[in-house]
């Protein structure tokens, strides 16, 4: 049915939203602000809805905007319809994501990130990856935005299901212009800072690293740099020592702690039932080793 250019299927839900918002605010201008729009399209939308229904929904007079008797009677049905449409869209999104695991990975894993995802893809796992700081990833696991994440340990994981801590040996890449001999080197008294992700990515793990550097005789001075690529850039420019997971890229350093990582998932009652969490967690932990 296309009467006077009105597409009920497309416009009705949109105009019902205008209707309920104006009814709530009793003011077209305020309703427009709440909808994030200007006033004219809201007024026009309500008028078109009124024409389509053949009923006036609002009295507009010197006293302002008031619902008519019909408007009052139709309001609950309009609100119900809006709720149902939101639920429909939400369900559709969830169905769309069923076959994808929303996986969070900390930037600290560097080159291991693409390698891990390639291996999982090879085995038929479909992953929607997010890469970020551990604190943010854990928040997203809590809120249900991620199905599972790897996060640095130690971190506050209360209310989540945290797996075994995996300790990944860490090496230090010297600046390109440092041609010191030998496989090992000493942190004691070394003048350059260590290039690390921002502290807010994982405050407890960050502080633990700084304490370990001081324990080994380093000043504990760090350069907090946002992304993996930028950290590589600062290292290439000769500004600091870069922790790396690949032994071919760095030296063994006495007193440098491992990168501690664990797999963290929601508690069983908060998980998406479509996902085989036991298999997933097992696979991710195996990938870390």
Partner 1 sequence: MTSAAGVPQEISRLSADAGIRAWVHAKRLGPAPASVDHHGSRSVPMASLYKLPLAACWSDLVAAGVLDPLARTRLDTDGRAPGPTGTSTLSDAVEVSQRDAVRLMLALSDNGAAEHLLGLVGLGRLEQWLADHGLRDTAARRGSLASWRAVAAETGGGDPALAPLRLADTDTDVRTSEYDAALSSATTAVDLVAVLALLWDHARHEHVRSSMRLQAWRHRVGSGFPHDDVAVHGKTGTLGRLRHEAAVVEFPGEHPVAVAVLTKSARPEIHQPRVDATIGEIARVAVTALRRSRD
Distance of closest approach, residue 107 Cβ to partner 1, in angstroms: 18
Judged by beta carbon, residue 235 or residue 262, the one nearer partner 1 is 262
User: Tokens at residue 137, please?
Assistant: 């990833």
| DSSP letter string, 118-176 | HHHHHTT--EEEEEE-HHHHHHHHHTTS-SEEEEESS---TTEEE---EEE--EEEPPT
Q: Pick from 241, 260, 265, 280 the residue near partner 1 by CB under 8 A.
A: 260
Residue list 238-257, contact with partner 1 (CB under 8 A) = 257
Single out the residue of 246, 265, 251, 266 nearest to residue 113, CA to CA: 246
- What is the pairing mode between strands 252-253 and 184-185? parallel
| Rounded-to-integer distance, Cα 69 and Cα 72, Å | 5
Q: Pick from 41, 64, 176, 258 the residue near partner 1 by CB under 8 A.
A: 258
Residue list 28-47, contact with partner 1 (CB under 8 A) = none
Distance of closest approach, residue 203 Cβ to partner 1, in angstroms: 5
What is each CA distance from 254 to 29, 108, 185, 206, 249, in whole angstroms?
A: 67, 20, 8, 18, 16
Binding piece for partner 1, criterion CB under 8 A, among 35-43, 97-105, 114-122, 163-171: 163-171
Per-residue contact string for residues 174-203; x = within reach of partner 1 by CB under 8 A? --------------------------x--x
Distance of closest approach, residue 102 Cβ to partner 1, in angstroms: 23
Residues 6+ apart with CB under 8 A from 109: 116, 150, 245, 259, 261
Q: Is 164 in the site for partner 1 (CB under 8 A)?
A: yes
Judged by beta carbon, residue 32 or residue 141, the one nearer partner 1 is 141
What does the binding site for partner 1 look like in residue numbers (CB under 8 A)? 135, 153-158, 162, 164-165, 167, 200, 203-205, 207-208, 211, 257-258, 260, 262
């Amino acid at each position: 049915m296309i009467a006077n250019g009105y597409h009920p299927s497309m416009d009705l839900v949109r105009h019902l939203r205008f209707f309920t918002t104006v009814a709530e605010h009793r003011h077209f201008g305020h309703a427009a602000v709440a909808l994030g729009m200007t006033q004219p399209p809201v007024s026009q939308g309500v008028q078109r809805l009124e024409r389509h229904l053949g009923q006036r929904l609002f009295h507009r007079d010197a006293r302002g905007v008031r619902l008519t008797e019909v408007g009052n009677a139709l309001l609950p049905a309009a609100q119900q319809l809006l709720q149902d449409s939101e639920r429909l869209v939400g369900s559709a999104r969830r169905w769309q994501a069923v076959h994808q695991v929303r996986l969070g990975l900390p930037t600290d894993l560097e080159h291991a990130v693409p390698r891990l995802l390639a291996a999982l893809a090879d085995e038929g796992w479909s992953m929607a990856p997010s890469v970020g700081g551990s604190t943010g990833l854990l928040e997203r696991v809590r809120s249900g935005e991620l199905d599972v994440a790897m996060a640095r340990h130690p971190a506050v994981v209360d209310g989540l299901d945290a797996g075994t801590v995996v300790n990944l040996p860490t090496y230090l890449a010297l600046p390109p212009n440092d041609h010191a001999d030998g496989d090992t080197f000493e942190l004691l008294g070394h003048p350059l800072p260590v290039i690390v992700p921002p502290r807010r990515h994982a405050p407890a793990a960050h502080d633990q690293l700084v304490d370990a550097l001081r324990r080994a005789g380093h000043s504990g001075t760090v350069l907090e740099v946002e992304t993996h690529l930028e950290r590589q850039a600062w290292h290439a420019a000769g500004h600091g020592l870069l922790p790396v997971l690949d032994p071919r890229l760095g030296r063994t350093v006495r007193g440098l702690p491992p990168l501690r990582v664990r797999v963290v998932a929601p508690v069983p009652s908060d998980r998406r039932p479509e996902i085989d969490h036991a298999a997933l967690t097992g696979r991710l932990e195996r990938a870390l080793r």
